[in-house]
Structure 1
């Protein structure tokens, strides 16, 4: 008899598909994204208000998500830094932010982000 995690499972009499893995837990999308490097959440208004959108990867053109020139606050989770660009396709002036909560983005950046890049 094989002993898997002290459950006393007889592998000669049971198949793997019959085993119950009750201790295995599915991660939420947010937790999984944090484990894989984090996310950048953009909000239309200051103080994380006005509706938002969350990214786990770079986006070269926020127009595709109806979020071009609309960001007023940002939340970055995980351990990655993100670069936010004034123009689409990662062009123009940019600002780089690390993990944290930014209730008001800097003057000159507010309502002018058109692309974002997750930095490695």
Structure 2
């Protein structure tokens, strides 16, 4: 309330719709999904380089977005766990990872450039 007073706004004479708060921003759908439940951010190269893409939902076939067998590092946000599969359609050997930064997938049980699908799990 002190910030509102300092800006000379009288709450008693304004409706909420009339007030403007510079600290409040509209979130894009992607940012909102990431903030609320997290995401799996995958990158082509180690140390989160080489271009990346963010997933907020499972993807059964990374061929469709040109990320099949190209992932070398991962950042997982939120509290969900993600399972990474060697083959499309959630098949083949898989590794489950939780929130964290994985600068090189081979250090965490995933052969480099081998992921073909990923699933968000609880």
TM range (shorter): 0.7 to 0.9
How large is the RMSD of aligned CA atoms in angstroms? 2.2
SS in 1 for 2:86: strand
Q: List runs of 5+ in structure 1 lacking aligned partners.
A: none
Aligned to 1:22: 20
Q: Which runs of 4+ in 1 moved over 6 A?
A: none
Q: TM-score, normalised by structure 2?
A: 0.78
Rounded Cα–Cα distance in structure 1 between residues aligned with 2:41 and 2:87: 18
Rounded Cα–Cα distance in structure 2 between residues aligned with 1:25 and 1:49: 28
Which structure would you say has the larger Rg? 1
Aligned to 2:114: 112
Give the number of aligned pairs. Answer: 109
Q: List runs of 5+ in structure 2 lacking aligned partners.
A: 1-9
Structure 1, 44-53 or 22-31: larger mean CA deviation: 22-31
Structure with the higher helix share, 1 or 2: 2
Q: TM-score, normalised by structure 1?
A: 0.79
